[in-house]
Structure 1
């Protein structure tokens, strides 16, 4: 009985000792939880994405917080870099993907909680685009009466990067400063990628980030168009009026030439071909180095007055005999009247009276006998005729003797 009591007493003492030890240990080094932040998340197999022309858009550098549980002395001897958080990106493709986070913690601790047990990744494909480089100029920097033409070299560039960024680019532009320039020049400018609102787009590679801008500078001026002629008008034709439409043109060219340019002449218009009124397109003659700054097709319009033919019938009795030989009597033989064809303006012909037509035969140098003499006519103001068109008519010249006189 005595031994049995001793065993019971020993067992109770042992239990009390264990309880006391546990109590003391909990008081001195209790089990607790502790949060660690920030814990960077390692991206495993990220190079596989790169090899497949993929890139993580967000989050680029993910972090989480991890809460560990363990003995106080153990936890307070741990720092954040002893906790390893990892995400394996193998096999993911373009789009939105949720990847689990794996945590490795120090010994004698356990993961009590995590801020994120998985991470939502946005993955995009790397694409290329070819863009034309555009130049933009502040109009306030331009000289009045001057025109600037920019030539960019290279004219296009290639951009490379995530699809969303590449698609966001509206244009590749350079800002060219033309302040005070009146002669052609070349400058090097930096390229800027901008969106549709003109805001810069970053994060893309460019085949080159600078271009050479050659600026051709020309003076612009409006000058009158002057009609240029060659040849003479056909006989009897007169110009009533002529004009060129449009009668001015805007030209461009080197400053030293254009500033002294007074007009632009048409190509020569041949007067000898102008028998009737009409219109025609004409070209322009530009000095060397000068060109039109606007596309026009000048039209030359002209009105001419052409002669009218009219026949007048003059009887033989109205023909005057001039310069008859002395001591002779001259008379015109019988025959048809003379047709006189006159050419001129209609109003002049309408105003003509028959007695203004002076036909005559010149008998100078002729002797007595019968002769064929060509009819002649005195000129009439503003009217024309063909002297060779008059016929020859018979003239009889008789000597005057004393017997005839008696």
Structure 2
């Protein structure tokens, strides 16, 4: 009973429980301290590799790093549990110092592990590393200018045509390792997807292609432009007839003249305002008195410089046939020749005694004409005060036969004297 009483007093004593609490706290403190300082080992996988000094390598020696063997490493770190155990792989960085490299070459370098800022590294130890080194290529940095080409992926409305796509800028400067640039041949742009009937422009991205049309990687490269302005100019299209104009003469008119033009028309593309005002292209003005019944010649097809010839034909052949008329030769005596517009104080003497002319008309008209009906007139208005002998162009008319005229050009010899 006495012992039980003693134990009861002890359990009810505040001092007893104070001592027990103190002992428990001390034990816990000792346990925590032992855990914090206990050596702890952890393997970190996927630690990011960082190259230090790339800017120095580029700016000072114009070299870059390519073909790096790996982007992450696995590393074993030992140290206090409270430190090492609180980290993940994202907290560590495997650093490779490339700032002291001086020559382009295949290179292997060891790396160091960078711990979070503020870490006391005196109690840390780096163990097994996989891999132990980082392999890479040190390459000379260079530039290459490649043309920008591409295609419009939409459609052009009926009645319109598109010129070749235009790109601004027309070239792209690609900077990077020489080994990366050697296969790049062009920058390729694909733009647009809708139907259009007016000029279309858009800022578009591009890809790099090699000679075979395969896409090239852009890793490790930089560019003078990230996008280009792609423009597709749209032109109106119109078929324009080809024609000729006539100077009617010597019985020939549009009523009895047959004309063939080959080709009959061409297709032009250009500004809508210009094309809408064009209904035909006149190839030439043909004087129907220059030939008897048939004529053929080739003419250049001329049009506004701002238009494009989609047909591709630059010349047209014109054939003219006068129907229902024929020719006949006549000899005209001097007495049917005369001069007009002789300058005052001067005289004109016709020296030609006769002139052979060919008239055109219907057969019936030509059979009725006599040489006395034919008049030959030399106009001297342009000779003013000239003196001497001249071959003067003449005009020929036929009295009583207005639809009959001479074919070709004629001159007579005239002597001009001052009185």
TM-score tier by shorter-chain length is 0.5 to 0.7
Q: Distance in 2 between matches of 1:281 and 1:165?
A: 57
Gaps of 5+ in 1: 1-28, 312-340, 361-377, 386-406
Structure-2 residue corresponding to 1:307: 327
Structure-2 residue corresponding to 1:205: 222
Structure-1 residue corresponding to 2:173: 158
Say yes or no: does 1:250 pair with 2:264. no
Q: Deviations over 1:173-217 (max 9, x none)?
A: 4444384543446x3413323324474854543333344455532
TM-score by length of 1: 0.54
Structure-1 residue corresponding to 2:245: 228
1:282 aligns to what SS in structure 2? strand
Out of 284, 294, 297, the position equivalent to 1:267 is: 284
Structure-1 residue corresponding to 2:138: 123
Structure-2 residue corresponding to 1:97: 107
Out of 298, 302, 305, the position equivalent to 1:281 is: 298
Q: Distance in 2 between matches of 1:309 and 1:131?
A: 74
Q: CA contact under 8 A between 2:42 and 2:84: conserved in structure 1?
A: no
1:114 aligns to what SS in structure 2? strand
CA spacing shift, 1:61–1:188, aligned 2, 3 Å: same
Q: Distance in 1 between matches of 2:274 and 2:206?
A: 37
* The structure with more radius of gyration: 1
Q: Distance in 2 between matches of 1:359 and 1:85?
A: 118
Structure-2 residue corresponding to 1:65: 74
Out of 254, 276, 296, the position equivalent to 2:313 is: 296
Cα distance, 1:248 vs structure 2: 1.8
TM-score by length of 2: 0.52
Q: Distance in 2 between matches of 1:359 and 1:278?
A: 27
Q: Distance in 1 between matches of 2:370 and 2:123?
A: 147
Gaps of 5+ in 2: 1-36, 116-120, 332-355, 373-398, 407-419
CA spacing shift, 1:176–1:83, aligned 2, 3 Å: closer
Q: Distance in 2 between matches of 1:358 and 1:115?
A: 122
CA spacing shift, 1:242–1:59, aligned 2, 3 Å: same
Structure-2 residue corresponding to 1:401: none
- Aligned residue pairs, count: 300
Q: Distance in 2 between matches of 1:64 and 1:153?
A: 44
Q: Distance in 1 between matches of 2:64 and 2:262?
A: 64
CA spacing shift, 1:308–1:57, aligned 2, 3 Å: same
Out of 188, 193, 213, the position equivalent to 2:207 is: 193
Structure-2 residue corresponding to 1:13: none
Cα distance, 1:258 vs structure 2: 3.6
Say yes or no: does 1:50 pair with 2:58. yes
Q: CA contact under 8 A between 2:250 and 2:405: conserved in structure 1?
A: no
